[in-house]
Amino acid sequence: MLRVRQIYYQSLQKIVNMERTRDFVPYFNPLSDETLESGVIRRLFESEDYRYHEYYGVVSHKFYKKLKKDSNYVKRTIENDEDKADVYSFFPKLDKVNLVLQGDNWHPLFSDIYKILAYKLDWGIDFSDKSLKMEPIYSNHWIASVDTFEEFCLDFLIPVIDTINESKVLRDLCNQDANYISREKLSPELCEKVFDRPYYTYHPFILERLFPIFCYLRNKTVKHI
């Protein structure tokens, strides 16, 4: 019924971070590009890894470390839930918020990029509207029905990645320094290999928040567990 792939790119991550998520299926991804986890989601969709299951998700090796929820809890809760929500996520204590404007707090060009995407892809939404309230889903920590997963990849994830690659304006904006601050971020030397620049670009941050925006625009039922 439930299939969750868990991404790791170093053997130590599997040993240290994935002990409590053994019901998830490991996915070794030693080399990445600027899309990070979202690129893996696209590859797994295109390889039809999600087929023949009712729910599907792709999470990082930090899942338990960040959320303190093990895979047995996740599997049992979703399989026994009578609501059969379109999406299950893990942030019940957080308020709904305009995730695009919120993104400007950390990444100054965030809303500028999303406004161009909305225009190019005919989403019919004004992200400058502070009254927009979206489900707080972060870090790709979500599990969706396979129909919802397929809809997201076909109608949002793939078109957004391709539109960024095809538009010089969006490429130039997304290749700017996203000002990412984290004790666990890649070194400038590794960033050169992943982003072709000595810093994190905007690509992974834009794509990470795309799923809750999709849920908002398509009126998906989201249940936090």
* pLDDT, tens digit, 9 for 90 and up, residues 4-29: 999 999 999 999 999 999 999 999 99
What the block records as the tokens of 172 is: 């130039």
Tell me the mean pLDDT in the region 114-128: 98
Pairing mode, strands 142-145 and 87-89:
antiparallel
Buried b (16+ CB within 10 A) or exposed e, 56-84: bbbbbbbbbeebebbbebbbeebeeeeee
Residue 104's pLDDT is what?
A: 98
Residue 184 has pLDDT above 90, yes or no: no
Sequential DSSP letters for the chain:
-EEEEEEESSHHHHHHHSTT-TTSEEEE-----TTTHHHHHHHHHHTTTTTT-SEEEEEETTHHHHH---HHHHHHHHHH-TT--SEEES-TTSPPB-HHHHHTTT-TTHHHHHHHHHHHTT----TT-TT--B----TT-EEEEHHHHHHHIIIIIHHHHHHHHH-HHHHHHHTS------TTPPPHHHHHHHHSSSS--SHHHHHHTHHHHHHHHTT--EEE-
* pLDDT, tens digit, 9 for 90 and up, residues 82-108: 999 999 999 999 999 999 999 999 999
Indicate yes or no: pTM above 0.75. yes
pLDDT band at 175 (very low <50, low <70, confident <90, very high): very high
Residue 138 has pLDDT above 90, yes or no: yes
Residue 183's pLDDT is what?
A: 85
Residue 31 has pLDDT above 90, yes or no: no
* pLDDT, tens digit, 9 for 90 and up, residues 47-73: 999 999 999 999 999 999 999 999 999
Nearest-angstrom CA–CA distance, 156 and 213: 9
Domain boundaries, the chain: 2-224
Question: Residue 50: is it exposed, middle or buried by C-beta count within 10 angstroms (0-12/13-18/19+)?
Answer: buried
Q: What percent of the chain has pLDDT over 90?
A: 98
CA 134 to each of CA 51, 85, 103, 160: distance values in angstroms, whole numbers, following the listed order: 28, 16, 13, 19
Residue 157's pLDDT is what?
A: 98
Tell me the mean pLDDT in the region 208-217: 98
Tell me the mean pLDDT in the region 139-151: 97
